[in-house]
């Protein structure tokens, strides 16, 4: 499989499933069809998509699924009645929706990759509303939270989707009770975090490492 066509295939999946979920899906699928095929994909895609490189490293260490500390998230969202999620990670979103029946959820319909948000949202059976960046402040309040996915955490910084920077400025920060970062990678990324941006951990009120 040529690099350009594999990269296009990965982008198609990552845009709507999330970088981490798409990486796990690709590795599991390739390994199931042909032993060793996933190694070629880690090499080929890992150079272009650092999340794949990080997931590939975890795969080599024996991990077979994403890191998902749902209890940690629920504890930090205790008392929150509405939350807006920035960025897509399907496995984590599915878990959050299933575990939080009373929580009003919105998803910011912006992505650095091509994504059909109508299809993304249809997967949640009406439980998650579409939120444009212009509508973000309508979701603010004393019991509101902003949630985003973190791609590896070290002692002081993390990587997030660039959508986070577009949405969260000094004005937005004070209008939400909780700014929650939810780590989806088992280890920090080994290569330069292309597609993502680095932010300081103190940009969040809560982090689920």
Partner 1 sequence: MSLAFAGILLAALIAQALWPGARLRVVVSGAALSCLLASLRGVSTTARLFAAVPWDVLTILVGLGVVTEVLVASRLFSLMAVRVTRATGARPWRFALTFALVMYVVSGLVNNLTALLLVLPVMLVVFRVLGVTQRFLSLTLGLLLVACNLGGAATPIGDFPAILLLGRGAMRFGVYLTAAAPRTALALALVVVALSWRRQASPRDGTEALRAALTVNTLEALHRGIRIDRRYLLPGAAALAAMLLGWVLIPASTGIGPELICWLGAALSLLGAGKVGETIARRRVDVEAVLFLLSLFVMVGAARESHLFTDIARWLTALPLSPAAQVVVFLVAAALLTGVFSAGPSMAALLDVADALARQHPREARDALYVGLAMSVCAGSSLFLTAATAGPLTQSLIERAGLRGPDGEPLRFGFREYLPVGLVAFALILSVGIASTLAAL
Selected binder of partner 1 within 112, 117, 124, 140 (CB under 8 A): 124
> Which segments within 7-62 are labelled E, that is strand?
none
Is there a contact between 89 and 20 (Cβ–Cβ < 8 Å)?
yes
Task: Return d(Cα 176, Cα 107) in angstroms, integer.
Answer: 15
Could you say whether residue 123 binds partner 1 (CB under 8 A)?
yes
Q: Which stretch binds partner 1 (CB under 8 A): 10-18, 57-65, 138-146, 162-170?
A: 10-18
Under the binding rule (CB under 8 A), the answer on residue 133 touching partner 1 is no
Q: How many residues bind partner 1 (CB under 8 A)?
A: 31
- Look up residue 72 and give its two tokens: 């940690």
Residues 32-71 interacting with partner 1 (rule: CB under 8 A) = 32-34, 37
For partner 1, the closer of residues 149 and 204 by Cβ is 149
Residue 99 binds to partner 1 (criterion: CB under 8 A): no
Establish if 119 lies at the interface with partner 1 (CB under 8 A). Answer: yes
The piece of 75-83, 122-130, 158-166, 177-185 that touches partner 1 (CB under 8 A) is 122-130
**Burial class of residue 103, CB neighbours in 10 A (0-12, 13-18, 19+):** middle
Given its phi and psi angles, is residue 36 left (phi above 0), alpha (psi -120 to 50 degrees) or beta?
Answer: left
| 206, β-bridge pairs | 180
Report d(CA 158, CA 176) in Å as an integer: 21
Contacts to partner 1 from residues 19-38, by CB under 8 A: 21-22, 25-26, 29-30, 32-34, 37
Q: Who contacts 204 (Cβ-Cβ below 8 Å, separation ≥6)?
A: 179, 180, 181
Residue with tokens 């948000």: 117
Interface with partner 1, residue 8, by CB under 8 A:
yes
| Interface with partner 1 (CB under 8 A) | 1-2, 4-6, 8-9, 11-13, 16-17, 21-22, 25-26, 29-30, 32-34, 37, 90, 94, 114, 116, 119, 122-125
């Amino acid at each position: 499989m040529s690099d350009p066509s594999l990269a296009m295939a990965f982008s198609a999946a990552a845009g709507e499933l999330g970088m981490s979920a798409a990486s796990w899906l690709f590795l599991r699928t390739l390994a199931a069809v042909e032993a060793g095929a996933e190694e070629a994909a880690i090499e080929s895609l890992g150079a272009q998509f650092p999340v794949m490189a990080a997931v590939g490293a975890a795969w080599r260490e024996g991990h077979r699924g994403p890191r998902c500390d749902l209890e940690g998230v629920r504890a930090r969202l205790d008392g929150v009645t509405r939350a807006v999620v920035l960025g897509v990670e399907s496995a984590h979103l599915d878990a959050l929706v299933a575990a939080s029946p009373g929580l009003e959820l919105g998803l910011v319909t912006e992505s650095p990759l091509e994504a059909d948000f109508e299809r993304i949202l249809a997967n949640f059976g009406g439980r998650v509303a579409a939120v444009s960046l212009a509508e973000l402040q309508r979701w603010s309040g004393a019991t509101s939270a902003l949630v985003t996915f973190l791609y590896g955490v070290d002692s002081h910084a993390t990587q997030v989707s660039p959508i986070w920077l577009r949405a969260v400025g000094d004005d937005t920060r004070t209008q939400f009770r909780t700014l929650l970062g939810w780590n989806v990678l088992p280890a920090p990324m080994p290569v330069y975090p292309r597609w993502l941006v680095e932010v300081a951990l103190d940009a969040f009120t809560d982090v689920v490492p």
